[in-house]
Amino acid sequence: MAAKLTVGNLQLCTSPSVRLHGKGNKVRICPLWPTTAISLARLVTDRDRSDAVFLGRMNEPSRFGIHRVVTQYAAMASKTVPTLATKRVSPHTIRHTTAVHLLRAGVDINTIRDWLGHVSLDTTHIYAEVDLEMKAKALAKVDISGLKEPHGNDLCRH
């Protein structure tokens, strides 16, 4: 659970990664993008290894602290990407969007399942089902040039 993530669970130098403790006390290590590692390094500067990474208003670890960081960065980003101002950005939005981007990049769904910490592939499969753009690209790859066109297609006439 990211809300209880401590500074000691971050590896921010070579091969940036985070060690996450999930449901059922399962541990997984996930890589971090270098830019994410830089942002996290700024966030935890001068903090002890046992300190929580994400703090709420009372300097206590909380999921609200994570939400606060995400909404603050979304507000900052909306100055350069104005469409963000009209969107609700949450930690779950980032999780979902990253999973979809990984899927679009061709990352195996089992790898994404592990990255998300899902036990069941069925849970992860939801991400594949919601991505209409990927379905359209897959359809475009199918060569149907040898098929005859049907006659009397009234669906496309206005």
Instruction: Take residue 143 and report the two structure tokens written for it.
Output: 């060569």
Which pLDDT score, from 0 to 100, does residue 110 have? 86
Annotate 45-81 with b (16+ C-beta within 10 A) or e (fewer): eeeeeeebbbbbeeeebbeebbbebbeeebeeeeeee
Which pLDDT score, from 0 to 100, does residue 96 have? 83
Which pLDDT score, from 0 to 100, does residue 152 have? 56
Residue type, 93: T
Give pLDDT tens digits along the chain (158 positions). 678 899 999 999 889 999 988 777 778 888 898 998 999 999 899 999 999 998 877 888 888 878 888 888 899 999 999 998 999 999 888 888 888 888 888 888 888 888 887 877 887 877 777 666 766 777 787 777 776 666 655 555 54
Which pLDDT score, from 0 to 100, does residue 28 have? 84
- Domain residue spans of the chain: 1-53, 54-86, 90-137
Q: What is the C-alpha separation between 31 and 18, in angstroms, rounded?
A: 6
Evaluated on CA atoms 41, 44, 49, 54, the torsion sign reads: negative
Residue 5 buriedness (CB in 10 A; 0-12 / 13-18 / 19+): buried
Which pLDDT score, from 0 to 100, does residue 109 have? 85
Which pLDDT score, from 0 to 100, does residue 82 have? 92
Which pLDDT score, from 0 to 100, does residue 131 have? 65
